[in-house]
Chains A and B, each alone.
Chain A
Amino acid sequence: QVQLVESGGGVVQPGRSLRLSCAASGFTFRSYGMQWVRLAPGKGLDCVAIIWYDGSNMYYGDSVKGRFTISRDNSKNMVYLQMNSLRVEDTAVYYCARVIGNNPHWYFDLWGRGTLVTVSS
């Protein structure tokens, strides 16, 4: 079954860290770029980070640059998002998505159901 399943969300205090995981199955994972996108309460979707199919390059949204790190393990069909120095405004549902296209013309043809991250003291 072609799917993406996120995990690792939860409640965390401001300034702390959290690591999200996304397990891919049913397709040739190593052939695709992957992305994390978030949906904050009352806001629109926001591209957080993208990683190339081979992990050779990454792109970050301005709001997370320097704090979040995207990585992948093609041997395990996994993509990760390490979130450091979390802020209240990082509270959102985080989705993993499969990337289609060539830099920078990317859209997303497969999404997971998301994992909720709540940053609160």
Chain B
Amino acid sequence: EIVLTQSPGTLSLSPGERATLSCRASQSVSSTYLAWYQQKPGQAPRLLIYGASSRATGIPDRFSGSGSGTDFTLTISRLEPEDFAVYYCQHYYSLPLTFGQGTKVE
């Protein structure tokens, strides 16, 4: 099983600041098989990034993904009030599919 470790656990920032979230895999998931999701309390998770760097439909361009192999990053260039949420990474390289534990941006 591929373990995904997200850091930091919590990121305390202000609107307008840049957020950098890390996701590290216990083994390579190539440059293709990593996704990022956003979840707000009481809401459905939302797909942000797939293929490590492709934005999902309707996702603002302040969200960007990068990385390959075992190290991936989600960057929010300038935080908007609606971006304060929990973010999860997920690999889809092999079964079982797994998620990271999440990073809370507060």
Hey, which bits of chain A sit against chain B, CB under 8 A?
A: 4, 43-47, 59, 61-62, 95, 97, 100-101, 104-114
Contacts and interface: CB of A to CB of B under 8 A. Distances in A.
A45 B98 CA distance: 8
Given A100-B50, A105-B92, A95 B99 contact: no
B44 A107 contact: no
Contacts of A108: 35, 37, 45, 47, 90
B97 interface: yes
Contacts, number: 59
B45 to A, nearest CB: 5
A87 B63 CA distance: 39
Q: Name the interface size band of chain B.
A: 20 to 34
Given A44-B101, A100-B50, A104-B97, A114 B92 contact: no
7 contacts: A44-B99, A45-B99, A45-B102, A97-B45, A105-B92, A112-B44, A113-B43
Contacts of A112: 44
Contacts of B46: 111
A17 B52 CA distance: 38
B33 interface: yes
A43 B43 CA distance: 17
A61 B100 contact: no
B47 to A, nearest CB: 5
A107 B96 contact: no
A62 B44 CA distance: 24
Contact of A106 (B45, B88, B97, B102): B97
Interface string B41-62: 0111111001000001000000
B93 interface: yes
A105 B52 CA distance: 13
Given A105-B33, A106-B97, A107-B50, A45 B44 contact: no
A44 B88 contact: yes
Contacts of B95: 59, 104
A59 B42 CA distance: 27
